[in-house]
Amino acid sequence: MKLLSRIAFILLWSSYILAQVAEVTLKKGIAYKISSSTQVDLELNSKVDINETIITGEKSVIKILFADKSIITLGPNTSFVVNTFQVHQTQRNAAFNLLTGKIRAEITKGQLDKNNVQVITKKVSVGVRGTEFLVNALAEKTDVALLEGKIDAQIGEKILEVEPGEYFSSVDGEIRKMTPDQLSKLLENKEEFLPELEELRPRVQSSTPDMPLGGPGVAVVPTIGIGGVGIGLATSESVISTSDEEEEQENKENMVHDAVKDELQEREDPPDIKSAKKNRKELLKENKCFYWFYKSIPGSGKIERFRRDRACDDYYFDL
C-alpha cells in the first residue's frame, strides 16, 4: 500500500510539474490569470499553466518564459491562452490561442525531430518553426509579421508561406515586405509590437490636397466631416522596395492613380454620400460617421467604392 501511495504521489506531482509550463519574467502594469473561474494577479516569477487565460491591462506588458526557453511577450489589452504545451526529448507540441490583443513570440528551434507549434486567432492559424514573429488580433482581422525564421499561415482555405521581413493581414491575405529599416527597428527593440499595417506601407503622395491617395483609414477629407474620399489600388501596397523594376511599376501605378482620380472627380456623389453631407450635423450628434474609398479590383481593373462605418470619436482629426 505504501508503494502504491508513493507511485500515485509521484504521478500526481509529475502532472503538476508538466501543467506549469512557464513563468513570468517581466511585468509592467496590470496582469492576471483566470483559472477555474478564479482570478489571480500575476507577479514576477508567477507560474503559467495550461488552459489558464492570461489578461493584461491598458499600457501593460508581460513576458512569459516557457520550459523550452521560448519567450512570448503580451502587449496591452491582451487575452492569451496556452492550450497545449508538451516537450519531450526531440518532440514538441504546443498551441497558443490569442483571443485578442498583441503578442511578440520568440520560439526556439532546438534539435527537434517533430515540432508542432501553432498560434491561433479567430482569423488565422500560424504554424511556427523556430521563429520570431508578431501578431495583432482584433475582432475583425489578424495582422502577422515575421522577423526571423519561417511560418506557414492559414486564412480559411488559403495557405501562406511567409519569409523574414514579410507581413500580411487576414483582410486580404496578401504578403507584403517591410523596408530593411523597419525590420531592423523591430528586431532591435525586443519590447516593440507590430504597429498598424498602414504605418508599414508606403505612402502615395497626391498633388490634389482635397483628395489624398491611400487605402482604408488613410484617405479622409476633413472639409466634408462625414468620412472622405480616397483611392487605394492593391498594387500600390504590395511591395516596399527601391529596385529599378519596382520603380518602373510604381510610375505605371501613378499613371493609373491619376486616371482614376480624374474619373472620380467627374462622378456625381452616390446617394449615401449626398445624404451624409446634407445631414452632417445630425449624424455628428449621434456619433455616426463613415468614410469611403475607391479601389481597383485585381484582375478586372474595375473600380469599386467601399464604405466603412465608424464612430466619429475614432477619428484623429476634429470633425
- Say yes or no to pLDDT of 5 above 60: no
Query: What pLDDT does residue 254 have?
Result: 60
Predicted confidence at residue 143, as pLDDT, reads 96
The pLDDT tens digits of the residues spanning 260-308 come to 555 555 556 667 677 777 777 777 777 777 666 666 666 555 666 667 7
Cell 464604405 found at: 307
- Total Cβ atoms within 10 A of residue 185: 12
For the cut 70, the answer to whether the pLDDT of residue 212 exceeds it is no
Q: Can you read off the three cell numbers belonging to residue 176?
A: 507584403
- Domain segments of the chain as ranges: 23-200, 201-319
303-311/176-177 β-pairing: unpaired
How high is the mean pLDDT of the chain? 75
pLDDT of 255 reads 59
- For the residues 243-255, what does the mean pLDDT come to? 59
3-state secondary structure at position 140: coil
pLDDT at 244: 57
What is the tens place of the pLDDT at every residue in 21-36? 999 999 999 999 998 8
* Long-range contacts of residues 251-258, Cβ cutoff 8 Å, at least 24 apart: 254/204, 256/296, 257/204, 257/206, 257/213, 257/231, 257/233
**HSE (side-chain half, CA atoms, 13 Å) at 54:** 32
Please tell me the predicted confidence (pLDDT) of residue 99. Answer: 96
pLDDT value, residue 37: 84
- How much is the pTM? 0.59
**pLDDT over threshold 50, residue 235:** no
Give the pLDDT confidence of 151-193 residue by residue, as tens digits: 999 999 999 999 999 999 999 999 999 999 999 999 999 889 9
The domain 23-200: what is its CATH number? Answer: 2.60.120.1440
Q: What is the pLDDT of residue 82?
A: 95
Kindly tell me the burial class for residue 161, based on how many C-beta atoms sit within 10 Å of its own C-beta (0-12, 13-18, 19 or more). exposed
Kindly list the distances between the CA atom of residue 196 and the CA atoms of 101, 141, 174, 216, in Å, as whole numbers in the listed order.
12, 12, 15, 12
Residue 129 has a pLDDT of 80
Residue 216 has pLDDT above 80, yes or no: no
